[in-house]
A and B are shown apart, each in its own frame.
Chain A
Amino acid sequence: KNEVEQSPQNLTAQEGEFITINCSYSVGISALHWLQQHPGGGIVSLFMLSSGKKKHGRLIATINIQEKHSSLHITASHPRDSAVYICAVTNFGNEKLTFGTGTRLTIIP
C-alpha cells in the first residue's frame, strides 16, 4: 500500500508570497495528482503528472521519480488561493487514487 505524506499540514502566508507544498510517497507510481478543495467543499483537479514539471498560470507542479517526491508551488499568492491542497497517487496497474491528508493553505491579504 502506498503511503502518501504531505507537508506542511497547515500553512499561513501573506499575499504575494511564494508557496511550496510537498508530497512524498513510499512506492513507485504511475501518476501523481494535485487536487484543490475549496472552502465550499468542491474538488478540482489541478495537475496530473508522471515526470518533470507542469505549469498552469501561477501554479507549478514538479515531480522527482527517483526521490518519490513532488512539490506544488504557487507564485504571487492571493487570498483566493486559500484552500486545501491534496496530493494523490495511482499505482501501476491500478486506477485507484491514494490520497494524502491535505495541506490547508490560508493567504492573508
Chain B
Amino acid sequence: DAGVIQSPRHEVTEMGQEVTLRCKPISGHNSLFWYRQTMMRGLELLIYFNNNVPIDDSGMPEDRFSAKMPNASFSTLKIQPSEPRDSAVYFCASRGLKGSETQYFGPGTRLLVL
C-alpha cells in the first residue's frame, strides 16, 4: 500500500489567499484525522472523521478553517483567508477499524503564509 498521501508537500502563499490541503487515506481505513504541528504548540488535532462523517471539530481554530471528506478516499482542509499564524506543518492520518487504533501518518504539508 502507498500509505497516506498528502498534497502538496510544500505550499507558500500570501496572506489572504485560499489554501487547500489534500489527503488520501489508506484504502479500507475508515477514520481520518487532520493535525497541525507548530514549534509553539506541538501537535494538535484539528478534526477527525469516521466513515466520512465529521465527529469532532473542536480543534479547528477558527471559521477560516474548514474540512470535508466527500468520500472514503479523499479529504480536504481549507483555510480561507490564510494568515501568517497559520504557517505550520499539517498532517493527515488514517486508521482502520475501531479496535485497531494505530494511526498511520502522511508525510505532511509544510505551509508558509507570508
The segment from A18-26, A41-49, A71-79 that touches chain B is: A41-49
* Contact of A99 with B42 at beta-carbon distance under 8 Å, contacts A43-B91, A45-B103, A48-B101 already known: yes
**Contact, CB under 8 Å: B43 / A99:** yes
Which DSSP category, helix, strand, loop or mixed, fits chain B's interface?
strand
Chain A residue with Cβ nearest B50: A95
Let me know if A108 is at the binding interface, CB within 8 A: no
User: A-B contact count, CB below 8 Å?
Assistant: 50
Binding site for B on A (CB under 8 A): 31, 33, 35, 41-45, 48, 86, 88, 90, 94-102
Q: Which residues of B are in contact with A by a Cβ distance under 8 Å?
A: 31, 33, 42-45, 48, 50, 55-56, 59, 89, 91, 93, 98, 101-105, 107-108, 110
Give the 7 A-B CB pairs with smallest separation, nearest first: A43-B105, A99-B43, A45-B102, A96-B45, A48-B102, A101-B42, A48-B101
